[in-house]
Amino acid sequence: MTASAGLKWTDSLEIALDLMEIHSEVDPLTLHFTELREWVLALERFDDDPKHCGERVLEAIQLAWIAEMD
């Protein structure tokens, strides 16, 4: 991925890593998907259509975040 490329919903691991950096004190298991979605949309590198986000996409991001914590 180039530095200029924006993150897409399918970049669950990269999104999770960015969220871990910003919200290091948060346990991803306690997050509501609505809050997770807002956090992803607020990421500086994120550049995708908010309408392309569903529960499965958010679950993939959450699972990637949890896996990186272990």
pLDDT by 10s per residue, the chain, length 70: 445 579 999 999 999 999 999 999 999 999 999 999 999 999 999 999 999 999 999 999 999 999 999 8
Q: What is the pLDDT of residue 66?
A: 97
Given this model, what pLDDT does residue 1 score? 45
Tokens representing 36 are: 């997770």
State residue 31's pLDDT score: 95
The whole-number pLDDT of residue 27 equals 96
Q: Which domains does the chain have, with CATH numbers?
A: 12-69 (1.10.10.600)
Nearest CA among 7, 22, 34 for reference residue 65: 22
